[in-house]
Amino acid sequence: MSEVADFPPSGSDPAMARRIQSRVTSFDVAALAGVSQSAVSRAFTPGSSIAEAKRQRILEAARRLNYVPNSIASSLTTKRTNIVAVILGNLANPFYVEVLRTFIARLQAQGRQILTFTVDNGADSDEAILRVLRYQVDGVILTSAQLSTRMTSICHDRGIPIVLFNRYIPGSDASGVRCDNTGGGRLMAEAFLAAGARSFAMIKGDPKGTTSQDRVRGFTERLIEAGIARADIGEIEGQSTYDGAFNAVLGAYRRKPERLPDAIFGINDIMAMGAMDALRQRMGLKIPDDVMIGGFDDIPESRRHPYQLTTVRQPVGLMVDEALSILHLDEPAQPIEMGIDRQVPGRLIWRSTIPTPTASSED
Amino acid sequence: MSEVADFPPSGSDPAMARRIQSRVTSFDVAALAGVSQSAVSRAFTPGSSIAEAKRQRILEAARRLNYVPNSIASSLTTKRTNIVAVILGNLANPFYVEVLRTFIARLQAQGRQILTFTVDNGADSDEAILRVLRYQVDGVILTSAQLSTRMTSICHDRGIPIVLFNRYIPGSDASGVRCDNTGGGRLMAEAFLAAGARSFAMIKGDPKGTTSQDRVRGFTERLIEAGIARADIGEIEGQSTYDGAFNAVLGAYRRKPERLPDAIFGINDIMAMGAMDALRQRMGLKIPDDVMIGGFDDIPESRRHPYQLTTVRQPVGLMVDEALSILHLDEPAQPIEMGIDRQVPGRLIWRSTIPTPTASSED
DNA sequence: GCAACATTTGAATGCGTATTCACTAAAAAT
DNA sequence: ATTTTTAGTGAATACGCATTCAAATGTTGC
């Protein structure tokens, strides 16, 4: 049926059939344009000394040859890759998707590339860091928890800055940016108190995550200060996911509805949403009439109709900007800043899972 | 209060204060181990000819120096970077988050790195491709729509394979993998018909996206075959987001509830969810009693309680595997396969937004 | 018209590794 | 015991570009 030459034409070189052709290099462009290789390099390096007319001639030659500079080769001499590594723990949580989106948007706008890694929740990031090191990235963003101090010092020795995002390592001098999670926990406690709650529960996430710990601590502290008895502050453990919270709530209250508190603080929005669905759809409860719910993060889903979750917003854009500024990508000669721990405050967003004491103030 | 030397010890070189130190190279390791640089290179290259005892000695020396091979340098000689670029259009749609997760998981397990790009929806990917080319990636996954044929041929010339994911370019010989969107549209039409619907609407997404077009086409074709009049098959346009669908539905029916059809097909799950919330929360309708709803993708959110969306599942894992197999990352010497268009069938997942004609068959 | 200066230019070199090539030592085959 | 094979090794080189250095060209001021 089909003849030999039935491959669709691709409109390109006839010599393309084999893979790994001799690539077009700056020498080829130089030859075509009648200049030296140095000139070609200069034509593609902004701010270098080259006559405009010559640059144009070179660019034209490059265009004709479909020449694209080889960043790998140039990285070898400049010792800059323009690559930033982003190591993520948990893309199942929309908050971290938002974080990733923001990092990508910012870095891409700066002309940098993003090397993305995921690390199983709770697993340690050492292997990812090692891989990152091989690629000589200009900086590392780490949103995943575990990181050995050995790794931080190796990175430091090699001059690669790391920023912990919404994490910190107690006793380490690794720099980081985070939301004021403790303060945010306090905000949520105050919101519940203002709405008249007297008994409470928290759905905690990963017990090793500082994020969860801090929110729990701030929340608890504030309640104690307000005179709430420890006995009236319950804790539920669950996987840090929608399903984890859903099941944890069912496990805790389905058989003992009498233990249900006035208010439940989901340590992040996705868990608060899981809790809400369990309480409403499986236990037939009304929110906030039967139980109040609070979350943390303010992911886009939280404002959607089924949830309308009252939550603490993390200013992601700001946090990302802070993180990137700590990296000092533009001044690689600067010594790495260590021991920085920038905290940005969260903000309570009133929606409808906690009755508003006075007037609503959504946004 | 604090003395000069109050920096926490980092357990590393004392010479670490300055950035851009002379890096540790294979020559340093060679010197310490008393071998040649070639030997060091071989020690880190699996399958190369080196005595096991010597390799161990080298590895030990490397460990003592915290030596990590420089992949940038090695890429220059091997012409392989072990980097795959993933270009994404829309991380606001959880489906593509799932796709990204899957690619990362697979590639990371193979020891490859992922360079992530996002392209504004509808914008063209040429700039991203150009950046990708500079980094000499081993392959490109493209989930975003627009791609000039000039770019595909440039990639082809340079021996860089591209796979379109859930997209195709009519008239191009670019390879791709996609769900059988047309067939999926038909499945949904059949589900609605079986449930007794006689009037329909579709909420279309990006009009330029082949994904949306194909689903619309399959859905419509099947309905026509079943004898439904064109007048009973409506179309609503909206941004391909939750809010887009939410607003589109409100705009179409809020003032004219009499125009509401028996069944609405959201071209993807996130839009179907937006539609559901608009219909239920804003228009007080019951689903599926007042309107049936169908989606497409089967994102994790679809099975959650507020939605329980009947939808067409895309087998993401399978599609990702197919995409990677087309890339032939393990046989770079092979000529690039062009013109491949693998389609994998979707599968209808019955949940509760369409009344089940007989018995339910959720998973 | 010439000195003093600023701007362009190309040859040569280095970045850190993989690989080729020629060679040695050890093992196997004769 | 000698030849043939095999495994192991180091010196040298290439990969594609940025950058340094010295030379060449162009510009300005007097």
Mutating which of A67, A71, A100 best tests the B interface, going by the most B Cβ atoms within 10 A? A71
Q: What confidence score (pLDDT) does residue A145 get?
A: 65
Name B residues 13-72 whose Cβ lies under 7 Å from strand C. 22-23, 25-27, 37-38, 41-42, 44-45, 48, 67, 69-70
Q: What confidence score (pLDDT) does residue B6 get?
A: 32
Cβ distance of A7 and B105 shorter than 8 Å: no
Cβ distance of A134 and B94 shorter than 8 Å: no
Q: What confidence score (pLDDT) does residue B322 get?
A: 97
Is the pLDDT score of A349 beyond 90? yes
Higher pLDDT, A363 or A165: A165
Q: Are B72 and A136 in contact (CB under 8 A)?
A: yes
Q: Kindly report, residue by residue over B215-225, the tens digit of the pLDDT.
A: 999 999 999 99
Q: What confidence score (pLDDT) does residue A151 get?
A: 84
Return mean pLDDT, chain B. 89
Report the Cα A9 to chain-centroid distance in Å. 43
- Asked if B59 is an interface residue toward chain A (Cβ–Cβ < 8 A), one would say no
Among A104, A113, A153, beta carbon nearest to B10: A153
Is the pLDDT score of A189 beyond 60? yes
Cβ distance of A118 and B101 shorter than 8 Å: yes
Cβ distance of B136 and A242 shorter than 8 Å: no
| A300 CB-near residues (< 8 Å, 6+ apart) | A94, A98, B92, B242
Phi/psi at A127 (5° precision): -65, -40
Measured CA to CA, the distance from residue B25 to residue B42 in angstroms comes to 14
Q: What confidence score (pLDDT) does residue B187 get?
A: 98
- Of chain B residues 16-45, which have a CB less than 8 A from chain A? 16-21, 23
Is the pLDDT score of B9 beyond 80? no
Residue ranges of domains in chain A, CATH in brackets: 19-69 (1.10.260.40), 81-179+316-343 (3.40.50.2300), 181-315 (3.40.50.2300)
Query: What pLDDT band is residue B21 in, cutting at 50, 70 and 90?
Result: low
Tally Cβ neighbours within 10 Å of residue A18. Answer: 9
Query: What pLDDT band is residue A87 in, cutting at 50, 70 and 90?
Result: very high
Rg of chain B over Cα atoms, rounded to whole angstroms, equals 27
* CA–C1' nearest nucleotide, residue A74: D17
A73 vs B contacts (CB less than 8 Å): 76
Q: What confidence score (pLDDT) does residue A23 get?
A: 81
Q: What confidence score (pLDDT) does residue B4 get?
A: 35
Q: Kindly report, residue by residue over B94-129, the tens digit of the pLDDT.
A: 999 999 999 999 999 999 999 999 998 767 788 889
Among A12, A134, A171, beta carbon nearest to B71: A134
- Give me the percent of chain A exceeding a pLDDT of 90: 76
Q: Kindly report, residue by residue over B132-152, the tens digit of the pLDDT.
A: 999 999 999 999 767 788 888
Return mean pLDDT, chain A. 89
Q: What confidence score (pLDDT) does residue A336 get?
A: 86
Shortest distance between the Cα of B357 and any Cα of chain A, in A, equals 24
Q: What confidence score (pLDDT) does residue B3 get?
A: 33
Determine the distance between A91 (CA) and D28 (C1') in angstroms: 63
Higher pLDDT, B108 or A333: B108
Instruction: Return the residue of A nearest to B85 by Cα.
Output: A115
Q: Kindly report, residue by residue over B292-304, the tens digit of the pLDDT.
A: 999 999 999 999 9
| D strand bases under 7 Å from protein CB | 7-12, 14-20
Mutating which of B6, B18, B19 best tests the A interface, going by the most A Cβ atoms within 10 A? B19
Q: What confidence score (pLDDT) does residue A261 get?
A: 97
The answer to whether strand D lies under 7 Å from the CB of residue A73 is: yes
Work out the average pLDDT over A274-303.
97
Q: Kindly report, residue by residue over B22-78, the tens digit of the pLDDT.
A: 689 999 999 999 999 999 999 999 988 899 999 999 999 999 999 999 999 999 999
The answer to whether strand D lies under 7 Å from the CB of residue B45 is: no
* CA–C1' nearest nucleotide, residue A40: D17
- Of chain A residues 273-312, which have a CB less than 8 A from chain B? 273, 277, 280-282, 300-301, 304-306
The answer to whether strand C lies under 7 Å from the CB of residue A78 is: no
Q: What confidence score (pLDDT) does residue B147 get?
A: 77
Determine the distance between A34 (CA) and C8 (C1') in angstroms: 15
Q: Kindly report, residue by residue over A249-258, the tens digit of the pLDDT.
A: 999 999 999 9
| Residue B116 bridge partners (DSSP) | A114, B86
Q: What confidence score (pLDDT) does residue A7 get?
A: 32
In sign, the C-alpha dihedral spanning B228, B230, B236, B237 is positive
Q: Kindly report, residue by residue over A91-138, the tens digit of the pLDDT.
A: 999 999 999 999 999 999 999 999 999 998 767 788 889 999 999 999
Cβ distance of B118 and A101 shorter than 8 Å: yes
Cβ distance of B115 and A114 shorter than 8 Å: yes
Give me the count of residues in chain A: 363
- Give me the percent of chain A exceeding a pLDDT of 70: 92
Is the pLDDT score of A2 beyond 60? no
Cβ distance of A68 and B157 shorter than 8 Å: no
Q: Kindly report, residue by residue over B306-322, the tens digit of the pLDDT.
A: 999 999 999 999 999 99
A69 vs B contacts (CB less than 8 Å): 134
What is the token pair recorded at A25?
A: 């290099």
Is the pLDDT score of A69 beyond 80? yes
Q: What confidence score (pLDDT) does residue A334 get?
A: 81
Q: What confidence score (pLDDT) does residue B221 get?
A: 98
Which residue blocks in chain B are alpha helix, DSSP H? 26-33, 37-43, 52-65, 71-78, 94-109, 126-134, 149-157, 181-194, 210-225, 242-253, 269-277, 316-327
Strands A341-344 and A347-349, sheet pairing? unpaired
**Ramachandran sector of residue B11 (left: φ over 0; alpha: ψ -120 to 50; beta: rest):** left
Is the pLDDT score of A159 beyond 60? yes
Query: What pLDDT band is residue A42 in, cutting at 50, 70 and 90?
Result: very high
**Ramachandran sector of residue A50 (left: φ over 0; alpha: ψ -120 to 50; beta: rest):** beta
Work out the average pLDDT over A185-191.
98
Among B8, B108, B277, beta carbon nearest to A173: B8
Q: What confidence score (pLDDT) does residue A359 get?
A: 53
Work out the average pLDDT over B242-271.
96
Q: Kindly report, residue by residue over B338-352, the tens digit of the pLDDT.
A: 889 999 999 999 999
